[in-house]
Amino acid sequence: MRFGYCMNLDFMKDDFAKSVFDSVAKAGFDYVELSLSAISELPEAGLLALKEQLKAIPCKACNLFFPQSLTIVGENMDMAGIRAYLGNMLPLMADMGVETLVFGNGGARQIPPGATAEAILQDLRTLVEVMDEYAGKHGVVICVEPLSDTNTITTYGEAARLTAGLKNVAAMVDSFHAAVVKQDYNEVLEAPDKLKHLHTAYPLGRYVPSPQDHMWQYASFVNTVKQVGYHDKISIEGHLRANCAADVYQEIANALQVLKNLFA
pLDDT in tens, 111-123: 988 999 999 999 9
Task: Give the whole-angstrom CA distance, residue 221 versus residue 236.
Answer: 14
- Specify the number of domains making up the chain: 1
Nearest alpha carbon to residue 103 among 36, 202, 7, 191 = 36
**Average pLDDT along the chain:** 97
Q: What is the mean pLDDT of residues 6-17?
A: 96
Phi/psi zone of residue 179: left (φ > 0), alpha (ψ -120 to 50 degrees), beta?
alpha
pLDDT of residue 94: 98
User: pLDDT at position 242, please?
Assistant: 81
Which of the four pLDDT bands, split at 50, 70 and 90, describes residue 243?
confident
Looking at residue 203, which CATH number applies to its domain? 3.20.20.150
Structural domain of 216:
2-262
Task: Indicate if the pLDDT at residue 245 is higher than 90.
Answer: no
- What are the C-alpha distances in Å from 235 to residues 98, 126, 166, 197? 14, 28, 24, 8
pLDDT-above-90 percentage for the chain = 97
Q: What is the pTM of this model?
A: 0.97
